[in-house]
Chains A and B, each alone.
Chain A
Amino acid sequence: MAQERFEPRLVGFLCRWCSYTGADLAGTSRIEYPANLATIRVMCTGRVDPTFVVKALVDGADGVLIAGCHPGDCHYGEGNYKAQRRYWLLMNLLLQFGIERERVRLEWISAAEGDRFARVVRELTETVRTLGPLRWKERVEVVA
């Protein structure tokens, strides 16, 4: 029987000024990319609490994207730097939980980089597809 292709479920937290606008630009420029990512708009990547990322993973996301303005371009000066610091602390923590670093990605995508946004979504989708499903709740049950 034909092997059903695994479609990762991804959640993306996009800053309103750069990355969300960039994602819209990908749309207005009709740049196609996989439909696996559902985006959530925040004012700044500085608003992205690692709790959100973990919550997404627990609720069934196979991967998470955090995208904001390029360093130095943050609409609020330094929100993206704080996001980056939280990101690396979180990465080390997730490793101990047995979650691969590649599942959670931090990217700088400007409002002009619609193509870049599309590329990042493509890459993340592929990466997570090769990693396979996370299905956190089930896995925790299984090892329970």
Chain B
Amino acid sequence: MKDGNQIGVYICHCGTNIARTVDIQEVAGFARSLPGVAVVREYKYMCSDPGQALIKEDIKSERLTHVVVASCSPLMHEETFRGACEDAGLNRFLFQMSNIREQCSWVHHERSEATEKAKRLIAAAVRRVAQHRPLLRQEVPVRGEALVVGAGIAGIEAALRLADSGRHVYLVEKESSIGGHMARFDKTFPTLDCAACILTPKMVTVGQHPNITLLTLSAVEEVKGFVGNFHVKVHQHARYVTADCTGCGECEKVCPCVHPNDFDLLGSTRKAIYRSFPQAIPNAYVIEKRGVPMCEETCPIHTRTQGYVNLIAHGDFTGALKVIRDVNPFPASLGRVCHHPCEDRCQRGYHDESLAICALKRFVADREIELGLSPEPVRPEPNGRKVAVVGSGPAGLTGAYDLARKGYAITIFEKYGKPGGLMRTGIPPFRLPREILDREVAHVLAHGVELRLNTPLGESGVTIESLKEDGFDAILLALGTTKGRDLGIPGEHLVGVVNCLDYLREANLHDRAETGRRVAVVGGGNAAVDAARTALRHGAENVMILYRRTREEMPAIGAEIEAAKHEGVELHFLVNPVELRVGPSGRLNRVRCQKMRLGQPDEGGRRRPIPIDGEYVEFEIDQVILAISQLPDLDFLVKDKDFDLTKWATLRADPYTCETGKLGVFAAGDAVTGPSTVVEAMASGRQAATAVDLYLHGEDLDILRQESHRPQELPLMDHVRRPDLPRKPRARIPVNHGAGISFEEVERTFTREQAMEEAARCLVCGGCSDCRICSDACDREAIDHLMADTVHELDVGAIVVATGFEPYDVRKLPRYGYGRHDDVITALEFERMCHASGPTGGRITTKKGEAPKTVAILHCIGSRDESHLEYCSRVCCMYSLKFAHLVREHTGAEVYNFYIDIRAFGKGYEEFYKRLLREGVHFIRGKAAEVTAVAESPEEEGKLMVVAEDTLLGITRRVPAELVILSAGLAPRKDSSDVAHVFSLGCAQGGFFLEKHPKLAPVDTPTEGIFLAGACQGPKDIPDSVAQGSAAAAGALVLMDRGKVVLEPIRAVIREERCGGCKLCVASCPFGAVEYDAERSISRVVRELCHGCGTCAAGCPSGAATQENFEDTQILAEIEGALAV
């Protein structure tokens, strides 16, 4: 305690608020006895002018050094009295307030106890204030911009007020249009004027206001800084439609994707590109994209699967084919031979069976052929650069296709007499008919691609050097695999042992393959299965596949394995050939196999086969086809030291940029990756083509190294929206076993109807199918499917939070039958129902489409209910009355309102209630107990009955109703706690934001500079929300017009002379406001960043850190005081 203190203590009666329970005289007497106290006065209302005058006079006449006022809460009047001190020339922080009203007289009824506590509180304040020292307040400027969050009627009002007074406003709205709930209403109580008519003009003004920046589809992610200087991060989701959109709606017409309409409800639907309602602001359309669906994600060439599927569903087959050909020149071929990973994780599969995507692709392609149409090649202006592609397999052709479509002049060099690589030499015609393949290769060539056949890489053909000399700017090697791998077992070189690739090549290219009677095919891949089935077709009587693992591990496509079994191929598993033996005739006649079992999975995840010692089995055969694995033939290439091989004997190339050791030479396909499927090879070819294009534009290839985003499942679709349809089976050619299985194609294609039905099973889990025909339909070119989200960083002086409410979920009250009975609807659904532009065009009807003769309106659903919402929604009485009127007006039906009390407190509300009584609406006082379809008497049969106790008659009533409207209560938004966290707001009533004072500061929050408006603060009707919108705007304007704010001097201070630099305060500061100075080994507070929480002061182990006006000495003194009595 410093000496020479002259402390003045002022005790307020607060009328009788304090005096009633606290003995002021006794307390005053006590205060006089406290050390340092010079003056003690009591007065009826200390906060009044005369009250303050007392203090001011004493400060001057008694030369007071400190002042204590014991009255209400400091949150109430601290500033008032500090001001008084300052007026009288005493530093405003040499003051302390003692809360003897809110925390004493109002909560303690026993006079003696309240008096004793008042003494303790005052003693604490007196001791504390003696430790106070003069402080200066820091003034900081206030920014002129404002942020309004939520564009319902409250937010709109606030934004307009601010904008009209010349401030710039950022208006952030989560939805695609502003308007909030009001935009969905038909009429408004009690005046019954049409909501649209009064709201739309305001919305339009917002849309056109030069001072308003409207950010729809946006959410505030982070708020930093402090009053007058907030720094805000806003995340805006892509709309995929630019401002050029005129809202003509052509896109909507062509969009194939249908989704439930969350705005109109009642089971109505909208397209994936949509506009919530005709008067939406901004008027632009928006596309619902939920992310990349698995079918597209898992496709090696990322075909926009849902795009073409949904076009097929709508009969736009040409459009579908266009989508496919954007990335894939071989729809008909892939439609036959693709291993379609797209079908593995199709969401439809979670509900019944995944979509037959591959077959749909084939359907559109085949249909084109049937109609004799031929695809138009894309041929841009030649860019004058030449690229050589070596190899005409799927990789080479895809590379050529992509590059040609970019304007390069392409020449393909092919080793054999026909193009297609393994698509031709490997895959048999009964899976991929030749005319199909020829046609699609022709389409690639139609892009001005030159093809040179019988031109291998090597002396006999072209070399890297010769190609360079011929002026090719880049070379793409897609050499494929042409050599079969040997087993490395005795007898492998006997006559009758043939390699699968050679065998198939002979069969497929020249249609003559030497085939034995009993044939064993060794291997489990597609090549093996193809070879087996080919052998059958070339006269083998008995064909067996020998595989060292089991069916599980077979890499071959399941359907093909089935087909092979179907055709009579024997499958022998867990056998591994160890020797090929000759018979007496000296010709191959037996294969000896080691029996195997499965061990642990290898890195590829397939279980490794392990020999079972001493267990062997032999098969009678006269031909063995080895289909173990394949290798590229690179003997020529590797003579050049720039090229080298991997340990798998494949060509080494950069996995991202496809660059080989030689500049300008790129490589792709099986020669690099090892054996793969057609579509995988195509993907590899595309990757190389992209690299070549970048390389020839002199770009940095490293951008190709950026990892593509990880595939992630999209949120599951509600499959109720599509009827369960099993996958369409496709016709097969009947198989006759034994001789003469035909070379004709086995699988036939969908019919038109089958295809459309199958395609319609797609759930469009991507939201938008990405077919992009809307882009074609839009002549303003306003649609950008590649638009990205944006993050806006805003600096604002004040923030108005107006995030609104959501109707209580009536499903939580099953007894009212919502979801079970079609004709039980929610209030919001009714609003849409009687809205002229709603789903029924304003017709009030039952689900069957008839006008109801009796309508029941149930008040307080979820409201005033201990187990749901305790509070009154403040609007449901009035809107229920409005509903009653509308029903009478539109249908003349009998209307029954079930209510607890009628709360018609607003201007004109009671009159409206009277009017409804006159209109002959039935009012039953008693909350409805349940809505049931269980009849208790014959005349109740087939009717919905509303059961309630009529508390006026004291009887239970059962009222039949053809339409039941549930007037649901108003609940906080589900995300309100997140919002509260972002803006550091308090919450009450389970999520409504807390105002600073329930009466005197209803739109302020404890955080200076942040205001509340509308139903986010509590249930409200439109007039109140509008009023709050204006009030909040006014609050913000006060700040901005003042132009500066004074910051409480409660910042942390670190006394250098005492700081040992232990850095623990740096760790304890949530705002990064403490920095460590390594030079001087001390920590320092950055004042601007400090928010004054005092955590560092508490946590400073050496007591060097302290907090202004909350110093240890001050708090410790307060503790002593509080316990001294």
Contacts and interface: CB of A to CB of B under 8 A. Distances in A.
B121 A79 contact: no
A28 B1006 contact: no
A86 to B, nearest CB: 8
Contact of A59 (B114, B994, B1007, B1119): B1119
A24 B102 contact: yes
A52 B1118 CA distance: 10
Contacts of A24: 73, 75, 99, 102-103
B82 interface: no
B1095 A21 contact: no
B1089 to A, nearest CB: 12
A23 B76 CA distance: 13
Interface residues of B, number: 55
A21 B75 contact: yes
A106 to B, nearest CB: 14
Contact of B984 (A11, A33, A75): A75
B980 interface: yes
A33 B114 CA distance: 11
A60 B1007 CA distance: 36
A35 interface: yes
B986 interface: yes
Given A17-B986, A39-B99, A75 B73 contact: no
A77 interface: yes
Contact of B114 (A21, A26, A35, A46): A35
B721 interface: no
Contact of B1070 (A35, A42, A76): A76
A82 B101 CA distance: 31
Contact of A73 (B114, B980, B1071): B980
B994 A78 contact: no
Given A43-B1110, A79-B1070, A52 B1116 contact: yes
A110 B1092 contact: no
B110 interface: yes
B226 to A, nearest CB: 11
A131 B981 CA distance: 39
Interface in A22-63: 23-24, 26-28, 30-35, 38-44, 46-49, 51-52, 55-56, 59-61
A112 interface: yes
Interface string B730-760: 0000000000000000000000000000000
B1094 A44 contact: yes
B107 A26 contact: yes
A18 interface: yes
A128 interface: no
Interface string A110-144: 11100000100000000000000000000000000
Contacts of B1068: 46, 82
Nearest to B117: A35
A35 B1125 CA distance: 14
Contact of B107 (A33, A38, A76): A33
Given A27-B102, A44-B1095, A76-B1091, A20 B75 contact: yes
Given A39-B103, A75-B984, A112-B989, A47 B1119 contact: no
A86 B124 CA distance: 25
A93 to B, nearest CB: 15
A110 B1099 contact: no
Contact of A38 (B124, B977, B987, B1115): B124
B1110 A55 contact: no
A109 B994 CA distance: 14
B1093 A38 contact: no
Nearest to A22: B986
Q: Which of B101, B103, B116 has the most CB of A within 10 A?
A: B103
A75 B226 CA distance: 12
Given A46-B1095, A56-B1119, A111-B1006, A32 B121 contact: no
Contacts of A69: 986
Give the interface size bracket for A toward B. 35 or more
A35 B121 CA distance: 11
Interface string B994-1030: 1000100000001100000000000000000000000
Contact of A42 (B117, B121, B977, B1110): B1110
Given A35-B113, A40-B1115, A48-B1098, A27 B1123 contact: no
Nearest to A48: B1098
Contact of A47 (B99, B1071, B1097, B1116): B1097
Given A32-B109, A75-B1006, A82-B1095, A23 B103 contact: yes
Q: Dominant SS at the B interface?
A: helix
B1050 interface: yes
Interface in B17-39: none
Given A24-B75, A35-B104, A46 B981 contact: no
A9 interface: yes
Contacts of A33: 107-108
B1046 interface: no
Contact of A31 (B74, B107, B1071): B107
Contact of A46 (B986, B1093, B1119): B1093
Q: Which of B121, B981, B1070 has the most CB of A within 10 A?
A: B1070
Contact of A110 (B987, B1110, B1124): B987
Contacts of A38: 117, 120-121, 124, 1122-1123
Contacts of A42: 1094, 1110, 1115
B75 A55 contact: no
A47 B75 contact: no
B1122 to A, nearest CB: 4
B1070 A40 contact: no
B1096 to A, nearest CB: 9
A23 B1123 contact: no
B988 interface: yes
Nearest to B112: A35
Contacts of B482: none
B660 interface: no
Contact of B981 (A39, A59, A60, A72): A72
B1120 interface: yes
Given A43-B1050, A43-B1110, A52-B1115, A61 B1123 contact: yes
B1006 A35 contact: no
B1093 A79 contact: yes
Contacts of B106: 27-28, 30
Q: Which of A20, A49, A52, A79 has the most CB of B within 10 A?
A: A49
B1107 interface: yes
Given A30-B106, A73-B986, A111-B1006, A55 B1070 contact: no
A16 B73 CA distance: 11
B1112 interface: yes
Contacts of B1124: 59
Contacts of B74: 41
B16 to A, nearest CB: 14
A49 B986 contact: no
Interface in B208-238: none
Contacts of A18: 986
Contacts of B1110: 42-43, 47
A47 B1006 contact: no
B223 to A, nearest CB: 12
B1040 to A, nearest CB: 23
A36 to B, nearest CB: 8
B994 A49 contact: no
Nearest to A29: B106
Contacts of A112: 986-989, 994
A79 B1110 CA distance: 16
A143 B986 CA distance: 48
Nearest to B995: A111
8 contacts: A26-B102, A35-B116, A40-B1118, A42-B1094, A43-B1094, A44-B1094, A56-B1122, A110-B986
List 5 A-B pairs, minimum CB-CB distance, nearest first: A27-B102, A47-B1094, A46-B1095, A112-B988, A76-B1093
Given A24-B102, A77-B1070, 7 more contacts: A18-B986, A24-B103, A26-B103, A33-B107, A38-B121, A79-B1093, A110-B988
